[in-house]
Amino acid sequence: MSFSGANGKRVGKDVNMKTFVNLLQDESGASAAEYALILAIVGGAIALAAITLGKTIGNSLKTASNCISKGSSATSSDCP
Mean pLDDT of the 35-60 span: 94
Mean pLDDT of the 21-49 span: 85
pLDDT on residue 10: 59
User: Taking the complete model, does pTM exceed 0.85, yes or no?
Assistant: no
Residue 69's alpha-carbon distances to 11, 55, 72, 75, 78, in angstroms, are 84, 21, 9, 12, 10
The proportion of the chain whose per-residue pLDDT surpasses 70, expressed as a percent, equals 76
Q: E strands, the chain, where?
A: 2-4, 10-12
pLDDT on residue 6: 58
Phi first, then psi, for residue 45 (nearest 5°) are -65, -40
3: CB partners within 8 A, 6+ apart: 10, 11, 12
Is pLDDT above 80 for 52? Answer: yes
The proportion of the chain whose per-residue pLDDT surpasses 90, expressed as a percent, equals 32
